[in-house]
């Protein structure tokens, strides 16, 4: 089966309780279960990982090369600060879909800049937990083109 990585960054372990008016009431476990189930319908083996530590996320991106065919990434606040994540993505040459639960472009100005977007095949934001499934659909479509 084709394998993809769903990678979640800082504070996403608090989904369901952290600012539900912004991020919804769906927990990270629920998001991951939905991703695994949705991926299976497309013949994708979805592996999920979350960390609050930038280096752990970079390590997972590096390990993805040769293991996974692509990545769905919600880098959380690192989206707006991490050149290191940008460089890691560029280095592994895998298709990456950036996803955010909220519409980062309708929020504070500092959230409008993404260091991930220039090295991603696309960005999905503002659709809540459904955005992960849309990201998997987009990634799968790109993989089928390759």
100 forms beta bridges with: 125
Query: Is there a catalytic annotation at residue 23?
Result: yes
The 10s digit of each residue's pLDDT in 41-91 is 999 999 999 999 999 999 999 999 999 999 999 999 999 999 999 999 999
Please pick, among 23, 78, 115, 132, the residue that the annotation labels catalytic: 23
Measure the CA–CA gap between 127 and 103, rounded to whole angstroms.
8
Higher pLDDT, 35 or 20: 35
Measure the CA–CA gap between 58 and 137, rounded to whole angstroms.
24
Measure the CA–CA gap between 125 and 20, rounded to whole angstroms.
16
Confidence band, pLDDT 50/70/90 cuts, at residue 32: very high
CATH architecture of 2-145: 3-Layer(aba) Sandwich (3.40)
Confidence band, pLDDT 50/70/90 cuts, at residue 104: confident
Span 91-102, mean pLDDT? 96
Please pick, among 78, 100, 115, 132, the residue that the annotation labels catalytic: 100
């Amino acid at each position: 089966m084709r394998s993809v990585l769903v990678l979640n960054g800082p504070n996403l372990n608090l989904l369901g309780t952290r600012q539900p008016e912004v991020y919804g009431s769906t927990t990270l476990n629920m998001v991951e279960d939905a991703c695994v189930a949705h991926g299976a319908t497309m013949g994708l083996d979805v592996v999920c990982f979350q960390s609050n530590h930038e280096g752990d996320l970079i390590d997972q991106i590096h390990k993805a090369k040769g293991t996974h065919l692509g990545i769905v990434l919600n880098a959380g606040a690192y989206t707006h600060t991490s050149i290191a994540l940008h460089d890691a993505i560029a280095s592994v040459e895998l298709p990456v879909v950036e996803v955010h639960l909220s519409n980062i472009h309708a929020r504070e100005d500092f959230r409008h800049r993404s260091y991930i977007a220039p090295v991603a095949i696309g960005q999905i934001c503002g659709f809540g937990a459904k955005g992960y499934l849309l990201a998997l659909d987009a990634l799968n479509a790109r993989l089928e083109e390759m």
